[in-house]
């Protein structure tokens, strides 16, 4: 890692000597460059040492500028080629699309079996369903817990689909790991750093959803937490951010897709269900996501939305999902991608 320390225009020779000494004390290499008006010091060395130091607090220092982006593992600089994440036999990224579908929550074996049959026939390749639900109200359905995980795993196996499910707490990681093919970190937990570190310790793919108030940079920094623990299988998910617009549940930031692609090699998928909260808008936004270069689409589907225990109002009916998937397959063709 490199940094540039810009000195104040009136910094004294004593101050400069002191800064050089401090940098050497840290075992780092300073390179002094004196200009007519400005003096700068380049520093090369162990980035952990650099980041831990409040260098800007040293007298005479005006600004400390990192040369590399702060996400060195998630960034493209050190890893120019697109990453491909594998969930079961499904490849995500590098031209392969993840079509993740299923109910918001696992409700019962019978309901999940029916939904799974429909979405699989429509072309979905990963089954979703929450067993631990992050609900706004503590009185709302919280999920079936381990029983839900078991139903999800068995249903996925029966229909030949790997499964993804949310983990909300570091203490749940070993349990969820036993049943799921992919961890989902929900929007509300995108900056639960202990949880990120915990799934970083596991060698299983992670679907990391963007927080509703998180910037793209925040999202990439959260991915960095997982990567820096050694788990390189991270897929990002844009699911809408909070805005003043109140006719949709959130505001889908589709620009996050090409924006992430410029900065990072990680795959990114889009969840138009939580982004819009509206079945009448989901298909158009799903198509737009594929056109924008997303590596997949994540959609909530329910066979009887009026009876769903969570997020019923935003669920697509199985037939609507089938129609959407026909469009998405054609679009994938145009984009030179495969489902």
Q: Which residues contribute to the site for ligand PEP (CB under 6 A)?
A: 104, 130, 134, 186-188, 209, 239, 274
311 forms part of the interface with Mn ion (CB under 5 A)? yes
Minimal distance, residue 243 CB to ligand PEP, in Å = 15
Of the candidates 322, 287, 299, 276, the one whose C-alpha atom is nearest the C-alpha of residue 104 is: 299
Residue 249 zone, left/alpha/beta (φ > 0; ψ -120 to 50; rest): alpha
Looking at the Cβ atoms of 62 and 147, the one nearer to ligand PEP is 147
104 forms part of the interface with Mn ion (CB under 5 A)? yes
Select the span of 29-37, 87-95, 279-287, 304-312 touching Mn ion (CB under 5 A): 304-312
Looking at the Cβ atoms of 118 and 239, the one nearer to ligand PEP is 239
Looking at the Cβ atoms of 7 and 104, the one nearer to Mn ion is 104
Minimal distance, residue 54 CB to ligand PEP, in Å = 35
206 forms part of the interface with Mn ion (CB under 5 A)? no
Select the span of 62-70, 103-111, 179-187, 209-217 touching Mn ion (CB under 5 A): 103-111
Chosen from ligand PEP, Mn ion, none, partner binding at 239 (C-beta under 5 to 8 Å by type): ligand PEP
Contact by Cβ (8 Å): 238, 270 = yes
What letter would DSSP give residue 301?
A: B
Contact by Cβ (8 Å): 204, 175 = no
Of the candidates 154, 219, 142, 201, the one whose C-alpha atom is nearest the C-alpha of residue 181 is: 154
Minimal distance, residue 310 CB to Mn ion, in Å = 6
Question: How far is Cα 62 from Cα 64, in angstroms, rounded to an integer?
Answer: 7
Minimal distance, residue 273 CB to ligand PEP, in Å = 8
Structure tokens given for 311: 């997020």
Looking at the Cβ atoms of 238 and 311, the one nearer to Mn ion is 311
Question: How far is Cα 85 from Cα 87, in angstroms, rounded to an integer?
Answer: 7
3-state secondary structure of 39: strand
3-state secondary structure of 25: helix
Minimal distance, residue 171 CB to Mn ion, in Å = 22
H or E segment at 338? none
Give the interface with Mn ion as residue ranges (CB under 5 A). 104, 311
């Amino acid at each position: 890692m490199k940094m540039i320390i810009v000195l104040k225009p009136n910094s004294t020779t004593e101050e400069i000597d002191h800064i050089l000494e401090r940098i050497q004390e840290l075992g780092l290499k300073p390179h002094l460059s004196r200009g007519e008006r400005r003096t700068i010091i380049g520093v090369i060395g162990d980035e952990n040492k650099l980041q831990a130091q409040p260098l800007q607090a040293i007298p005479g220092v005006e600004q400390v500028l990192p040369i590399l982006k702060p996400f060195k593992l998630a960034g493209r600089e050190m890893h120019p080629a697109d990453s491909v994440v594998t969930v079961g036999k499904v490849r995500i990224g590098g031209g392969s699309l993840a079509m993740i579908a299923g109910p918001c929550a696992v409700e019962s074996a019978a309901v999940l079996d029916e939904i799974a049959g429909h979405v699989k026939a429509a072309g979905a390749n990963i089954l979703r369903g929450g067993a631990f639900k992050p609900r706004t109200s503590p009185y709302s359905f919280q999920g079936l817990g381990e029983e839900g995980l078991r139903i999800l795993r068995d249903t996925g196996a029966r229909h030949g689909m790997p499964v993804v499910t949310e983990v909300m707490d570091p203490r749940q990681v070993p349990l969820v790991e036993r049943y799921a093919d992919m961890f989902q970190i929900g929007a509300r937990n995108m900056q639960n750093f202990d949880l990120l570190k915990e799934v970083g310790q596991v060698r299983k793919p992670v679907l990391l959803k963007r927080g509703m108030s998180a910037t793209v940079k925040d999202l990439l920094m959260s991915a960095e937490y997982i990567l820096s623990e050694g788990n390189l299988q991270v897929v990002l998910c844009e699911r809408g951010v909070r805005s003043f617009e109140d006719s949709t549940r959130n505001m889908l930031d589709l620009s996050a897709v090409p924006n992430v692609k410029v900065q990072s090699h990680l795959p990114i998928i889009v969840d138009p269900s939580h982004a819009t909260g509206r079945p009448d808008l989901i298909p158009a936004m799903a198509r737009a996501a594929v056109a924008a270069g997303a590596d997949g689409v994540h959609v909530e589907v329910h066979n009887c939305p009026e009876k769903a225990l969570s997020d019923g109002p935003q669920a697509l009916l199985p037939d609507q999902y089938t129609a959407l998937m026909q469009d998405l397959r054609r679009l994938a063709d145009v984009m030179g991608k495969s489902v």
